[in-house]
Amino acid sequence: QQQVKQSPQSLIVQKGGISIINCAYENTAFDYFPWYQQFPGKGPALLIAIRPDVSEKKEGRFTISFNKSAKQFSLHIMDSQPGDSATYFCAASNQGGSEKLVFGKGTKLTVNP
């Protein structure tokens, strides 16, 4: 049973455009929703995270939007750059991030120059 569904599987954006990746979850006990960025041959690196008491969190060009009633959250990358080309994973966990993470299947983002 996949508890976190991520879409799209791949995404191609032009430099300067907006990249949008969506995730939906099933377990209402989840209370921590991070996004990870992974480059080929590397481990996942925490990009930005949100807790369900807020609907949006912004850090630089990266924004998480969170819809608790719909059990959905999304990552927006503004002014996308070629260096943003990577695979992005959404995840969810209980206990504010101190429990195991359940990951989406990932979105491979390509930003063309």
Partner 1 sequence: NAGVMQNPRHLVRRRGQEARLRCSPMKGHSHVYWYRQLPEEGLKFMVYLQKENIIDESGMPKERFSAEFPKEGPSILRIQQVVRGDSAAYFCASQGQLPFFGPGTRLTVL
Q: Is residue 53 at the binding interface for partner 1, with CB under 8 A as the rule?
A: no
* Smallest distance from partner 1 to CB 46, Å: 7
CB of 57 to partner 1, least distance (A): 14
Q: Which of residues 18-37 bind partner 1 (CB under 8 A)?
A: 34, 36
Task: Return the number of the residue (66 or 103) whose C-beta is nearest partner 1.
Answer: 103
Residues near 98 by beta carbon (within 8 Å), at least 6 away in sequence? none
CA angle centred on 80, ends 43 and 55, rounded to 5°: 80
Asked if 48 touches partner 1 (CB under 8 A), the answer is no
Among 49, 71, 76, 94, binds partner 1 (CB under 8 A): 49
Nearest approach, Cβ of 96 to partner 1 (angstroms)?
8
Measured in residues, the chain has a length of 113
Where do contacts with partner 1 occur on this chain (CB under 8 A)? 6, 34, 36, 41-46, 49, 89, 97-98, 100-106
